[in-house]
Amino acid sequence: MNEQSFELPGWRLKPPASVPELKEAFRLGARRLKGGRLKVAKFALSHPYDIAFASAREVAARAGVSTSTVMRLINDLGFEKYAAFQQLFREELRRGRQ
């Protein structure tokens, strides 16, 4: 089962800098986003607090996928580490409280 990579031109070099940019990346690549990666994307957008404060392993369990699926999605988006992906959600939550 070789799940096709979800990549958008340019995103590999520069990951989304905000949750709205992440939403746009998911929207633009929706047709190529399948299986476990789609589950993670939907979970991330529906549960921002979980992404902001839970580990990749915890997110994987809650989304019903493997930890490696979570990591593949964030790597496909251009993030080197889960913490960088997580930081988008923390910043978004901080902005919402101001």
Q: Decide if 4 contacts 33 (C-beta within 8 A).
A: no
Band of residue 55 on the pLDDT scale cut at 50, 70, 90: very high
Distance CA 41, CA 26 (A): 7
Helix (H) or strand (E) holding 51: helix 48-53
Dump pLDDT digits (tens) for 7-18: 554 445 689 999
CB-based contact 6:76 (threshold 8 Å):
yes
CB 63 within 8 A of CB 97: no
pLDDT band, very low/low/confident/very high, at 1 (cuts 50, 70, 90):
very low
Between 52 and 31, whose confidence is greater? 52
Q: What is the pTM of this model?
A: 0.81
pLDDT score, position 89: 96
Per-residue pLDDT, averaged over 49-69, amounts to 97
pLDDT band, residue 97 (cuts 50/70/90): low
